[in-house]
Amino acid sequence: MKVGFIGLGNMGAPMAANLAKAGHQVTGFDLAAPCPEGVTPAASAAEAARGQDVVITMLPNGAILRAVAAEVLAVMEAGAVLLDCSTVDVESARAVAAEAEAAGKMAVDAPVSGGVGGAAAGTLTFMAGGSEAAFDKVRPLFDVMGQKAVHCGALGAGQAAKICNNMILGVTMIATCEAFALADKLGLDRGKMFDVVSTSSGYSWTMNAYCPAPGIGPKSPADNDYKPGFAAELMLKDLRLAQQAAEAADADTPMGQRAAELYAAFVEQEDGRGMDFSAMLPRFEKRGRA
C-alpha cells in the first residue's frame, strides 16, 4: 500500500519503519524528527498525504490533529483512509472523522497500547473506531505494526476504549504502589506479598506484568531506575482525557478523578516528570499519612 505517515516521534518512527520493512511505500513528515530508514521524506504534511491509499497520523494532541487533518484532507484521494493512531480527546477524534467523511474520505481512530517497545517490535494493540469498510482496508497495516487490532465500534470508539483502559491502569497502579508502601511499613517482605497477591484476588496487570517494586516479578521499568516504558506525564495526559470525556458524558468517575489529581501532583509539583508511571511507589515510600 502507499502510506503517508505524519508524526515520526518515539512512537511514529518505528511504526513507519516497520511498514516500510514490510514492503509498503511509506512517505513521512515531521516538523522536527528525521525519517527512519526506508521512509521517503516529504516537505510538508500535505505532500506526505497526496496520492496515498492511507494517511496515518501519530500526533501529541487533538488541536494538532485538527490542524493536520485540515491540511491533508484537502489533498487526499477520494476513498483514501485517514488513520489516526494518536491518543486525543474523543470530541477531536469524532470531529476529524466527520470532516474526513464529508470530504469523501474514510476515517479510523485507532489509538495504541504497548509503548515504544511495542512500536519497535511490531506488537502494539490497536483500539479502532470507524466503519467496517475502513477498518478492513487498514487491517493489513495493523497486522504489520501490531499483534492485535480490535474494532471497538463507530468513529470515536477507539479513543473511548483507550481512555477507559488507561483510567483503569492509572487507578490500579496507584493502588498497587500504595499496597507495597503499606506492606513495607507493616514489615511484610515484598517478595512474599507478590507471591500472595499475584495468585489471589489482588491479581492485576500492574502487579503481575509490570510490578512497580524493583527485583519483584517479571522485569519492568522499576528494575531500570524507573526509566519510562510509559511516562508519568503520558499517564497524566490520558487520565485528564478520561476526565474530560467523563464531564462531557456526565459520568461519575471519582477514582479516575483522584488518580488524575495524584499524577498531576507527581508530574507537575514533585519529581515525576521523565519517570515511569510506576515510580509512584518510591513517592509513596517517602510519605506518611496525611
Question: Which residues have C-beta within 8 Å of that of residue 69, sequence separation ≥ 6?
Answer: 57, 82, 84, 96, 99, 100
What's the rounded Cα separation, in Å, for the pair 100 and 78? 10
What's the rounded Cα separation, in Å, for the pair 226 and 278? 7
Marked catalytic residue, from 2, 105, 137, 162: 162
User: What is the residue whose three cell numbers read 493502588?
Assistant: 175
End-to-end CA distance of the chain: 57
CA dihedral 31, 14, 99, 113 (to 10 degrees): -130
| C-beta of residue 156 within 8 angstroms of C-beta of residue 97 | yes
Beta bridge partners of 125: 113, 148
Can 162 be counted among the known catalytic residues?
yes
Instruction: Give the residue from 45, 120, 116 showing the smallest Cα distance to 76.
Output: 45
**The Cα angle at residue 127 between residues 149 and 25, in degrees rounded to 5:** 60
> What is the separation of C-alpha 146 from the centre of its chain, rounded to a whole number of angstroms?
13
Output the DSSP codes for 52-108.
-SEEEE--SSHHHHHHHHHHHHTTSPTT-EEEE-S---HHHHHHHHHHHHHTT-EEE
| C-beta of residue 174 within 8 angstroms of C-beta of residue 262 | yes
Output the DSSP codes for 98-121.
HHHHHTT-EEEE--EESHHHHHHH
> For residue 65, which amino acid is it?
L
The C-alpha cell at 232 is 508519568
Question: Which residues have C-beta within 8 Å of that of residue 36, sequence separation ≥ 6?
Answer: 8, 13, 14, 16, 17, 20, 28
Digitized pLDDT (tens) for each residue of the chain, 290 residues in all: 999 999 999 999 999 999 999 999 999 999 999 999 999 999 999 999 999 999 999 999 999 999 999 999 999 999 999 999 999 999 999 999 999 999 999 999 999 998 888 999 999 999 999 999 999 999 999 999 999 999 999 999 999 999 999 999 999 999 999 999 999 999 999 999 999 999 999 999 999 999 999 999 999 999 999 999 899 999 999 999 999 999 999 999 999 999 999 999 999 999 999 999 999 999 999 999 87
> For residue 257, which amino acid is it?
Q
Sketch out the chain's domains with CATH numbers: 2-153 (3.40.50.720), 160-286 (1.10.1040.10)
